[in-house]
Structure 1
């Protein structure tokens, strides 16, 4: 068939010919990532760039050789405490240089990183110790007490044996606490030196002990097919599930992200997306280390700190969620900041409002580039071409990825423009759920010699091969890019003694995109005594802040189907219909 004849054939929904028309001409459709462990990337960059900043943290520079040394000492400390190939080690930190050193140290020890969201509370943390059978954890000093409390509630045979405690202060220069370099609200948080917490039947050590460890390094034995990271994702039912990512899946997208964004060793990236999250981990941390680039690290979001760091360090690449950009542009000090160094800005997790994207283009010549991916897919499966992005669009299938739109019931492929479930196949897709063979089987199907992963998201594809999300099969709420699973929030809320029933839904929010609402039936004896504010305050004590319902509505009964199931969609549709129109 000639090229002209081929182009005349109508494209199916997801036909790989369609998005070829939008494909950046400088970018390969597939690539061969290094057949090594992720650890090797740090070793190579340290040899190539002996004087280059690997990280910047409140103006404290850590060079690549320094980062390598720290990671090796962590590996030696872990090996001396019995960590062996394939063992799982918890990593429980906000963004900081020690997180990167600890992460790569775990890999150097041939072990597996279990990244945990630092917003989780003690009631949520026990699962992350027990499910992966972790016996060692590395945690920030301010977060460690919650981890210890969760550990104490577990049966003795499931508890931690060692805990390595990190203070952010140790990675900061003294002058960071002078002037306006540090947000005032963060001073006490970052400056405080916390007393060592107590493990019920384990030993607690300080980061300095690991850095002074003189034990030999173990042989590095793992390769591309060995398990590297076990990030957890929640779902429609039950507790969060671990996603088994070997070195090769993360390596592929780390390299592909570099190629897609025209990355070089001269990149200076603002690393504010959390590194426990798959996007910050892969596109932020791993891509930067692979390139030998510099990561300017923020432990949390603060719009004026971000503006100062972009200006001072001449940041070139910024991966974010749209609410961060909206917040920065709204700063009363915005005219003080110089964004002229930025050459690439993009992200995902929520749609970028068209008006904000237009302002970036008009004022700075920047096209906001949206992408799409899941924990199960090592971040992007789709991305907008940097030179031809479409607004509020997932983009085209990423390097090496095949994507289709299928009927959720029959799994048959659907025509262009028709909505169905997005399914993907490619080298970035995880191996399956940790110790959940049934859930793994439900998430995949075989067709045309390929293994397809069901994303659970409904979407459509246009004639040019760009994908758009339309709805979700799963009950997931997207609040400022954070994924909130109603079943998980409901399970936590049912622990409150006043709650008889609860249904959690997502409702429109002008800033967060969506926000969490709980529709609650109180026990008879609690009616008139427990308020909406009481429940919200209780939730703040027992779950991560982004999961906490911002809205609570008391009802006498929840609508139910003939089989007794709560009709959550009916409640959600009613709440959305009553919401004010977006501005």
Structure 2
């Protein structure tokens, strides 16, 4: 649906086109513009753009000297620490393809993805849990080299000394040798390697879990990543982007943070106040200390802030905007957060396969609660028929969202057979099928109705779990909710709700089921509401329907 200029509320026109560049070139531009500007704030220590750039160049040289060639894969098995940025851009300077791995992976998960990607070098940290897992993978796979960074060396000197003296058990006993190298040994002095890296080269393998089977590696080029960073920067209406300080609580290994934090800051010259992992008290202290202006997060982060007793006494006046992505934002949480903080919270949307970001509600002016906003500039979408995706959805009806834009991935690593089901051709353009069912209103605001694979078939009717979840979340006792389909002999499937409760509130499953079923359609009614202490969450903190379904069924 075409959107008029009057209805488009982002500050940059929808039809804007951006220049694809390599990520090392993007970083170098910011270094040349302002080398001493702060890039990363980490637990009391600040790293300038020049400092990270120099470390990246040295790491690139170290990789080249050990035989890493253009196109080889270098893995990052790291939390949010400064060497993540140096290793990320440095590997790309050497022409390598970065592979992101979650620090929460088991040995089996990491081993499989290292093998599938063909990762030759893995960068990790001298934290016992990380090192032990990485060392087992080194010993049990074709991985050639483990590079281990020192956490204490990245801290202010007094914190690093305290870690070494008082918390020695939190430092791994690393068996250094030919196959296990120190980070400092991988950053020799010398000129950067003469490797030509272009915008058309492959930059990143980002693994994404499907509803079934093994994760697949989305192939993202320098062009997709650099353009998506520019698209995100283009929707910021708040003056000089170099003055922005982003709250870096999202994990860098996730595509949302890679684009909305790391590459976004890099392309504009902004800074990131980062924490190793999300811990509510530390996040609140970091926002106040560094006067953070923007906070991209997931709904559970904003819920955790609401639940923390320090929220009311934390100075959040520097925050201009909070952006929620990764999962639907519950309406009550949205309202309560804005009332409690006075900070505007907007919802956005993206996928691993789209380099991170497809749409967002405007940061200023018109926004619509319950929607994922308007497309970022340079992006197009169509709605496909849910049953017959080779056709468009009927006019005015929800359909499967399909995305065309410069940020859309090339395909899945070593999975050419998936292209036919992943992409659809329309009018000479290649659209990515998202699997999400959406509506588009007259102003171009998108609303996600549900995921196609999550729909519940109840006696021939299709039930959207999110519709039922939205209703039960209106109950004052309910904090979180997930609805899944469970087998039933007569109707095939029936919805069942799983909830957690707000602190200090009591309600039984029977009470909640009666309240809920009185407010929804007959075919949407749940067979029961199960009250739980917790619901499963993914590595970035969003509610995990897939894991719940596996537990229950």
> Is TM more than 0.5 here?
yes
Q: Tell me how far 1:577 sits from its aligned partner.
A: 4.1
- List 4+ stretches of structure 1 deviating above 6 A: 558-561
How big is the alpha-carbon RMSD for the aligned residues of Structure 1 and Structure 2?
A: 3.0
Conserved 8 A contact 1:145-1:197: no
Residues 93 and 287 of structure 1, relative CA distance in 2, 3 Å threshold: same
- List runs of 5+ in structure 1 lacking aligned partners: 1-14, 478-507, 520-557, 562-566
Conserved 8 A contact 2:17-2:378: no
1:254-333 to 2 correspondence within 5 Å?
A: 254-262=229-237, 264-333=241-310
Q: Which residue of 2 aligns with 1:243?
A: 218
Residues 260 and 407 of structure 1, relative CA distance in 2, 3 Å threshold: same
User: Is it true that 1:28 corresponds to 2:28 in the alignment?
Assistant: no
Residues 35 and 25 of structure 1, relative CA distance in 2, 3 Å threshold: closer
Query: Following the alignment from structure 2 to structure 1, what is the Cα–Cα distance between the partners of residues 247 and 366?
Result: 23
User: Is it true that 1:447 corresponds to 2:426 in the alignment?
Assistant: yes
Conserved 8 A contact 1:321-1:350: yes
Conserved 8 A contact 1:371-1:395: yes
Structure 2 counterpart of 1:165, from 148, 152, 155: 148
Residues 406 and 118 of structure 1, relative CA distance in 2, 3 Å threshold: same
State the TM-score, normalized to the length of structure 2: 0.80
Query: Following the alignment from structure 1 to structure 2, what is the Cα–Cα distance between the partners of residues 512 and 131?
Result: 35
What do the CA deviations read for 1:363-401 (whole angstroms, capped 9, x no partner)? 544321111110000111121122222222111222111
Residues 174 and 392 of structure 1, relative CA distance in 2, 3 Å threshold: farther
Structure 2 counterpart of 1:76, from 61, 65, 81: 61
Q: Tell me how far 1:224 sits from its aligned partner.
A: 0.9
1:143-182 to 2 correspondence within 5 Å?
A: 143-154=130-141, 159-176=142-159
Q: Which residue of 2 aligns with 1:472?
A: 451
SS at structure 1 position matched to 2:219: strand
SS at structure 2 position matched to 1:230: strand
Q: Which residue of 2 aligns with 1:350?
A: 327
Conserved 8 A contact 2:20-2:224: no
Structure 1 counterpart of 2:84, from 89, 93, 99: 99
Q: Which residue of 2 aligns with 1:529?
A: none
Query: Following the alignment from structure 2 to structure 1, what is the Cα–Cα distance between the partners of residues 425 and 441?
Result: 25
Query: Following the alignment from structure 1 to structure 2, what is the Cα–Cα distance between the partners of residues 388 and 513?
Result: 29
Query: Following the alignment from structure 1 to structure 2, what is the Cα–Cα distance between the partners of residues 359 and 42?
Result: 38
State the TM-score, normalized to the length of structure 1: 0.76
Query: Following the alignment from structure 1 to structure 2, what is the Cα–Cα distance between the partners of residues 370 and 413?
Result: 26
The total of aligned residue pairs comes to: 478
SS at structure 1 position matched to 2:152: helix
Q: Tell me how far 1:309 sits from its aligned partner.
A: 0.9
User: Is it true that 1:16 corresponds to 2:2 in the alignment?
Assistant: yes
Q: Which residue of 2 aligns with 1:503?
A: none
Q: Tell me how far 1:320 sits from its aligned partner.
A: 0.7
Q: Which residue of 2 aligns with 1:544?
A: none
Q: Which residue of 1 aligns with 2:368?
A: 390
Query: Following the alignment from structure 2 to structure 1, what is the Cα–Cα distance between the partners of residues 10 and 154?
Result: 42
Query: Following the alignment from structure 2 to structure 1, what is the Cα–Cα distance between the partners of residues 3 and 267?
Result: 31
